[in-house]
Amino acid sequence: MRTFRAGLFALALATGLAGCGQGGSAALSAVETDPKAVEALVTKLQTESFKGKATAPTDFAAVRDALPKDVTLTWGNLSFDAATGSTVLTQVKLGLASAPGVGINIDELRLYDFDSDFAKARLSGQRLTESAPLAARIDAKGISLFGMATMLNQSMSVAPAVEPPVAITPETATVPPEGAPDGWPPTSEPSFEFDDAMFATSFDRYDFGFGRIILNDVVLRPYEASVAPPTGGIADMYGPGAVFMQQYMGFMRTLGIDTFAGFDMKADFAMTQMGQKVSATVSAETTGTRGMRGGDVDASFIRGMMIAFDASASSVTGAPAMNFSYAIEHMGIEDMRFDKLYSYMAKGTMPPRTETDLLSYGLITMQNQVMKVGGKDIMTVGESSFDARKFHWFIPTEIKASATNAVIDFAAITQMSGEFASQIQAEQYGPASDADPAYAPPPMPDFAAIAATMEKHGLARPNMNFNFGWNWNATSGDAKVDLGFGGDKLMQMGLKYEGGFPDFKSVSDMIPEDAGMTNMDGVAQLFDKRSTLKLINVNIVDNGGLTKMFNFTADMGPIMAAADPSGFNPLEGQTGESLRQMAGGMLTTFGATPDIAPFVTPVANFVMQGGKLNLAFQPPQPMTFSAFGQKMTSTAQAPGVTLKELGLKVEHSK
């Protein structure tokens, strides 16, 4: 029970519990909302004046006294603000008695209509089956961890024991080899001394905090965790951590919060290891969530998110300096559902396979992502999405993903590769002026020239797009996969698959509750028998990409020849157009036989003329993958006959 009380209170304070449990509250049941609406609500919460119903300060001392002895809670001052109806605490610190220098600090904590009796009862293991309001609002400012770097440094300061040299007696000494020097054999093992400071790890910073947190309308839901340890699949899944995971899920499921608003979040980490200074920062201007009920989230957003990583050059390992950052202007999340799964985990049991609508990873959207390496924009993405809201038990039945206006700076990547290659070569061979003619470094490609060639042909920073779709019917096993990608003024490709896999029940019936007893050969045979192909369709549209790629290839000939000690250029005298016609001609020659000409000639025409190309395999009857593979590799008949029987059609159009 002490663990329950301490864990619940730590979670409550760390997240800044608040709420009132009013009718229609998203802390109790799902509401229709989206990230845009949540952001508007968070903006309102930040500036509005709120007044509670309380007329006297809450008995927070009673809550403190209900804590287990190993948890400490202190504050500098406690007062009641009659104008806002809130209890105000300053310099609040939550920690452990065993680690007095480590904990959570809150500069100012305002509690609106906080039910101290309910909090005290829960911390005492009472009123566990109730679902009731805890507070109307909590407004916390200056939330931060403290003492983490010091604690980590202290935990790593214990040096391992050093064993004395092992004496070697004449009876056990190795027989001196022929021509051994005087003093053989040695009387002890040689001593190897290392500079411990050189290899030591020290933490300079380990900080995390929010400038402000507002939580509106928070309730405590029933505590449903089982006192029995986890069994079966849950125990196998988490191993030694299964008991902790069970208790954690139980705590999480007690929390219901209508609205969470966080401002100026920052996690800052810095350390020195192996002579290298490493730092990482994660920050966000604003975060918000509506409808937090245990593991469920109705909608959430993050605005102004930044992840940055810096590492200096290492004086020990020789690792180069590195600088990386990744920024997201806006991230939105909708319909994330894990509370049903958490309920089973809190009880220490595996969800039954009849629990079909078990979970949802939600719909995640991101706008304006920027990745920098060495201060250079390597990739930008205008908008991307990932939708995984439909599951049958743990199996996804539908997944969608997309990205638009994705620009990758291949020229910058090429130049950075050249800088890195030059650095490695300098370390291996020394400065060029000191190079021994007999041990001269090999010539390297002219990376600057390669980047310039990309610029010349419009391949330096292509604007690209991507989409993916997966659909599987758990009852019938029917499946569809869609994949598309391409680039503006380059090429667009689309791939579609239709077929089937084993249905859920067929596989489930072969897997006992103890999954370790599964007949894996039988499952493999089931998949081999039930994995079928109905259609494979490939569509390619040339929007100028073929011309650019062939011209780029021709111009790369002299550049690559300069990096070859022989100076040989296999593309000598070739142009992009001549290479294109050569490639098409080779395909035409390959398809000269009448039986395969209908399948090869359209491809050759597409290479030489551009336009549109469609390839489709559609057998008269669904085929298993193994049967399709055997048919493709069979030499029992002419290739053209086989392709026709497999339903292959190839068409070219302008």
Domain ranges of the chain: 2-153+199-351, 409-461
Mean pLDDT value across the chain: 88
27-41, 158-172, 368-382: range with lowest mean pLDDT: 158-172
567 in Cβ contact with 444 (< 8 Å): no
- Within 10 A of 537 (CB to CB), how many other CB atoms are there? 16
526: DSSP letter: H
Dist CA 271 CA 202 (whole Å): 6
Query: b/e map of 197-213 (b: 16 or more CB within 10 Å)?
Result: eeeeeebeebebbbbbb
Dist CA 554 CA 570 (whole Å): 10
Q: What is the percent of the chain with per-residue pLDDT over 70, rounded to a whole number?
A: 86
51 backbone φψ class: left, alpha, beta (φ>0; ψ -120 to 50): beta
Angle value at C-alpha 24, between 18 and 30, nearest 5 degrees: 85
Indicate whether 422 pLDDT > 90: no
Dist CA 242 CA 248 (whole Å): 10
**pTM to 2 decimals?**
0.86
Higher-confidence residue of 631 and 243: namely 631
Structure tokens at 536: 């494979």
Bridge partners (DSSP) listed for residue 75: none
Banded model confidence at residue 401, pLDDT cuts 50, 70, 90: very high
The whole-number average pLDDT for the span 259-273 is 95
pLDDT tens digit sequence for 70-129: 999 999 999 999 999 999 999 999 999 998 899 999 999 999 999 999 999 999 999 999
Higher-confidence residue of 6 and 148: namely 148
pLDDT of residue 615: 98
Banded model confidence at residue 303, pLDDT cuts 50, 70, 90: very high
Structure tokens at 384: 């991307």
H or E element: which one contains 325?
strand 322-337
Indicate whether 381 pLDDT > 70: yes
- Per residue, the 3-state secondary structure of 486-512, as one string, reads EECCCEEEEEEEEEECCCHHHHHCCCC
Indicate whether 339 pLDDT > 60: yes
Which of 63, 387, 440, 404 is CA-nearest to residue 220?
Answer: 63
- Per residue, the 3-state secondary structure of 85-113, as one string, reads CEEEEEEEEEEECCEEEEEEEEEEEEEEC
153 in Cβ contact with 202 (< 8 Å): yes
Give 393's contacts (C-beta < 8 A, 6+ positions apart): 351, 353, 355, 356, 358, 504
pLDDT of residue 590: 85
Structure tokens at 378: 């390597």
Dist CA 571 CA 562 (whole Å): 13
Dist CA 254 CA 147 (whole Å): 29
pLDDT tens digit sequence for 344-365: 988 888 899 999 999 999 999 9
246 in Cβ contact with 230 (< 8 Å): yes
79: DSSP letter: E
* Residue 149 three-state SS: helix
Which of 592, 621, 610 is CA-nearest to residue 654?
Answer: 610
Dist CA 88 CA 109 (whole Å): 6
Dist CA 16 CA 7 (whole Å): 14
Banded model confidence at residue 11, pLDDT cuts 50, 70, 90: very low
Indicate whether 491 pLDDT > 50: yes
pLDDT of residue 432: 57
Angle value at C-alpha 617, between 615 and 618, nearest 5 degrees: 130
pLDDT of residue 14: 40
Dist CA 126 CA 502 (whole Å): 49
232 in Cβ contact with 246 (< 8 Å): no
Please compute Rg for the chain using Cα positions: 33
204 in Cβ contact with 270 (< 8 Å): yes
Indicate whether 222 pLDDT > 70: yes
pLDDT tens digit sequence for 150-207: 888 888 764 444 445 444 454 455 556 565 555 555 555 555 555 555 667 889 999 9
> Quick one: CA torsion of 150, 156, 159, 161, rounded to 10 degrees?
140
97 backbone φψ class: left, alpha, beta (φ>0; ψ -120 to 50): alpha
